[in-house]
Amino acid sequence: MILHGWGRYPTVDGKVYHPASPDEVRHLLHSHSDGVTPRGLGRSYGDSSLGGHMLDCRRLDHLLAFDARKGLLYCEAGVSLNDILEVFVPKGWFLPVTPGTRFVTVGGAIASDVHGKNHHVNGCFSEHIEFIELCLDEERILRCSRDEHPDLFRATCGGMGLSGMILSAAIQLKQIKSSFIDQTTYKANNLEESLELFEIHEDKPYSVAWIDCIAQGRSLGRSLLMTGDHAENGGLVPGKGERFTLPVDMPSMLLNKHSIKLFNTLYYHRVSGTSVSHRVHYEPFFYPLDSISDWNRMYGKNGFTQYQFVIPKAAGKKALSDILKTIAASGKGSFLAVLKAFGKRNENLLSFPMEGYTLALDFKIEKNLFPLLDSLDAMVLDHGGRLYLTKDARMCQETFRLGYPEWTKFQNVRERYGVRRGFQSLQSKRLGLD
């Protein structure tokens, strides 16, 4: 079966299995001891969830227990964040951390140690995980947490499925009084103002900025910063769900320099004053893109890649503006460029966030793209930054090792638990994590 990640690049012709119980996972690991790749909903952009033998978690999708007093949910790894929201928002609970799409699994969210708009206050997804049940091979299912097999826990959160198959996990949900978000949008005329806005609003639980990465000169880095917090009232109303599907691949020609520029300009001028506030449902606030299913087809049949890096706070403005200038000059800038200030890093060996700034932008796959990205890699590394593994489809081994110096510890943990051979992906092979 031909499969790909969310970016539709690269593709793999592999076998997919759908284990429906822990026992079936054990049997599959026994019969494929030369390496499997766990897979959730395939929302990682590149090749993290691709391999010759993939274990798809869609049938491990049961809620197993809920402590309504504490808000602690114990569920299988294939449960989607969408499912959790549907069941628990009406009961007054929300995800402690959520990425920009709700169509990811709990297993995928742990394996990528995802972050949301609240990283600066609440950290990554794993920081709200009480424990994980991990299947290592035919014989061993281990429970790991900060107290039990902590080394394995630190390797698994953010470990891209390379330390075992997550079967289930316990997640601490967060109490809410309303399914609405009080949102304010601020306008920043350049990069400096954008970064200042993050400082000013660092006490707001959610914040993210949308950057116009085509703008140059004095407007370089102009952005709209959106902050938000859960409203105190308005009711616990479930979302409306998906609305619109992109049925076919759009001709990638439609996405060119001019259309992107037009889009960016229109979007930026939506906010006419310096700020506007309103109350919105959590769905458009957190998941604006989920209202168009299969929007990834917009980039045409060759697919696209998302380039997301983080640079330390100290490197801040200088590094960002160098990188933005390079992108603007290339004329390959993207539809979406999201800027966010991260809080402190956690102790996981391969988690992406570190205190500083992260920028994410899409590039459609085309000739001469990779040389551009290689030059961006060099700038990111120069400033002490790194790239997000769950978005990556192309970085080289060297770039990975420099960005993630704890990779050797990660390999040691895999070695210690005997999972180095058993769990692999196209990405792990590319990055020398075999």
Partner 1 sequence: MLNILIIGATSAIAGEVAKRFAAEGARLYLLGRNTERLGRIAADLRIRGAESVQTTGFDAKDIESYEQILEKAHASLERFDVVLVAHGTLGDQKKCETSVEKTLHEIQINAVSTIAMLTIIANMMVKQKCGTLAIISSVAGDRGRPSNYVYGSAKAAVTTFCEGLRGRLFKSGVHVLTIKPGMVDTPMTEGMELPPMLMAKPEQVARDIVCAIRKKSDIIYTPWYWRYVMSGIVHIPEKFFKKMSL
Task: Give the binding-site size for partner 1 (rule: CB under 8 A).
Answer: 12
228: left (phi over 0), alpha (psi -120 to 50) or beta: beta
Of 59, 143, 325, 429, the one binding partner 1 (CB under 8 A) is 59
In sequence order, what are the beta bridge partners of 423?
A: 36
Please tell me whether residue 72 binds partner 1 under the rule CB under 8 A.
Answer: no
Please tell me whether residue 267 binds partner 1 under the rule CB under 8 A.
Answer: no
Please tell me whether residue 23 binds partner 1 under the rule CB under 8 A.
Answer: yes
Q: Which of helix, strand or coil describes residue 132?
A: strand
- Minimum Å gap between C-beta 45 and ligand FAD is 7
Please tell me whether residue 276 binds partner 1 under the rule CB under 8 A.
Answer: no
- Minimum Å gap between C-beta 111 and ligand FAD is 3
| CA pair distance 114, 305, nearest whole angstrom | 18
| CA pair distance 178, 62, nearest whole angstrom | 26
Please tell me whether residue 334 binds ligand FAD under the rule CB under 6 A.
Answer: no
Please tell me whether residue 65 binds partner 1 under the rule CB under 8 A.
Answer: yes
Give the nearer residue to ligand FAD in terms of CB position, either 64 or 289.
289
Please tell me whether residue 62 binds partner 1 under the rule CB under 8 A.
Answer: yes
* Among ligand FAD, partner 1, none, partner that 20 touches (CB below 5 to 8 angstroms by kind): partner 1
Listed ranges 36-44, 176-184, 370-378, 411-419: which one lies at the site for ligand FAD (CB under 6 A): 36-44
- Whether 103 and 41 have beta carbons less than 8 Å apart is answered as yes
Q: What angle do CA 224, 228, 233 make, to 5 degrees?
A: 145
- Whether 94 and 174 have beta carbons less than 8 Å apart is answered as yes
Listed ranges 6-14, 16-24, 191-199, 398-406: which one lies at the site for partner 1 (CB under 8 A): 16-24
Please tell me whether residue 18 binds partner 1 under the rule CB under 8 A.
Answer: yes
- Minimum Å gap between C-beta 76 and partner 1 is 8
* Among ligand FAD, partner 1, none, partner that 315 touches (CB below 5 to 8 angstroms by kind): none
Listed ranges 101-109, 246-254, 271-279, 341-349: which one lies at the site for ligand FAD (CB under 6 A): 101-109
Helix or strand holding residue 206 (H, E): strand 206-211
The 371-390 contact track toward ligand FAD, x by CB under 6 A, reads -------------------x
Q: Which of 404, 361, 362, 411 is nearest to 381 (CA)?
A: 404
Q: What angle do CA 96, 101, 103 make, to 5 degrees?
A: 95
Region 81-110 residues binding partner 1, contact defined as CB under 8 A: 87
H and E: helices and strands count for the chain: 13, 22
* Among ligand FAD, partner 1, none, partner that 63 touches (CB below 5 to 8 angstroms by kind): partner 1
| CA pair distance 404, 380, nearest whole angstrom | 12
Region 281-310 residues binding ligand FAD, contact defined as CB under 6 A: 289
Q: How many Å is the Cα radius of gyration of the chain?
A: 21
Please tell me whether residue 122 binds ligand FAD under the rule CB under 6 A.
Answer: no
Give the DSSP letter string of 352-410. Answer: ---SEEEEEEEEE--TTHHHHHHHHHHHHHHTT-EE-GGG-SS--HHHHHHH-TTHHHH
> What are phi and psi for residue 182, nearest 5 degrees?
-85, 115
Residue 138 tokens read as 């035919």
- Minimum Å gap between C-beta 14 and ligand FAD is 12
Give the DSSP letter string of 274-332. Answer: SEEEEEEEHHHHH-GGGGEETGGGGG-TT-EEEEEEEEEGGGHHHHHHHHHHHHHHHT-
| CA pair distance 359, 341, nearest whole angstrom | 9
Give the nearer residue to partner 1 in terms of CB position, either 21 or 408.
21
Residue 232 tokens read as 């105190």
Give the DSSP letter string of 419-433. Answer: -TTTB--HHHHHTT-
Give the nearer residue to ligand FAD in terms of CB position, either 12 or 328.
12
- Minimum Å gap between C-beta 414 and partner 1 is 29
Of 111, 255, 328, 387, the one binding ligand FAD (CB under 6 A) is 111
- Minimum Å gap between C-beta 17 and partner 1 is 9
Of 12, 79, 104, 224, the one binding ligand FAD (CB under 6 A) is 104
Of 4, 36, 37, 75, the one binding ligand FAD (CB under 6 A) is 37
- Whether 179 and 281 have beta carbons less than 8 Å apart is answered as yes
Which residues here bind ligand FAD, judged by CB under 6 A?
6, 37-44, 48-49, 57, 77, 99-101, 104-105, 107-109, 111-112, 114-116, 160-161, 165-166, 289, 390, 425
Which residues here bind partner 1, judged by CB under 8 A?
18, 20-21, 23, 59, 62-66, 76, 87
